[in-house]
Amino acid sequence: MTTETKKARGRPRVFDPDEALDKALQIFWNRGYEGTSLAELTETLGVNKPSLYAAFGNKEELFMKALSKYTTGPVAFVRDVVNEPTARAVAQRFLYEAAEFLTQPSHPKGCMVVQGALSGGESAEMVKKVLIQYRAAYEKLLTKRFEQAKSDGDLPSDASPQALAKYLATLHQGMSVQATSGASKEELLSIADLALDAWPKA
């Protein structure tokens, strides 16, 4: 072994927190919170436990940082859909883009928020609560948009904005589970079309 080779091997790799967080996001997205071990995180990120804790805190804190990156990046489209001109257009864009997103081959299948909630141990309680709060906040955003639609006459007077918001959220969660089980984009789009056929008309 040459001196140069020894130097190259002995040189510590430069730790890139953003790159490491991207890798952690992929693992949590793929396996959920409880399905991800510290050993897998340290191995994939290329750091030891003390370095991981120094950079991100504990596993829970790392998950929260990854979740923040996820909600402001890959899945940011879900907040833009409320800007569509009609309630039905909101529902259509939400479901169609979800079908595309949940089956995209460039990242893990399904939704990280749904995957991350599939946990039952005490260690995941805080994570589950945060994910529940996230879903509730999004349903509230949809509810507010549908209340405006009802006020504008874009939804019938007997429509329930809250039930419609819950309906879309439930469809999305089911589509996510279907996607992780191998459902194709076309199959999810057919589900979206069935749901849109039942959308209340003003």
Predicted confidence (pLDDT) per residue in 147-177, tens digit: 999 999 999 999 999 999 999 999 999 999 9
Q: For 59, how many CA atoms within 13 A lie in the half-sphere containing its CB? A: 19
Q: Which CATH class is domain 15-73?
A: mainly alpha
Q: 76-202, what's its fold?
A: Tetracycline Repressor; domain 2 (1.10.357)
Predicted confidence (pLDDT) per residue in 38-58, tens digit: 999 999 998 888 888 888 988
- 36 DSSP assignment: -
Name the token pair of 3.
């001196």
CB atoms within 10 A of CB 27: 20
**Percent of the chain, pLDDT > 90?**
59
H helices of the chain, in order, are 3-10, 17-31, 38-45, 49-56, 59-72, 77-80, 87-102, 112-116, 125-151, 161-180, 185-197
Residues of the chain with CATH 1.10.357.10: 76-202
Residues of the chain with CATH 1.10.10.60: 15-73
Q: What is the pTM of this model?
A: 0.83
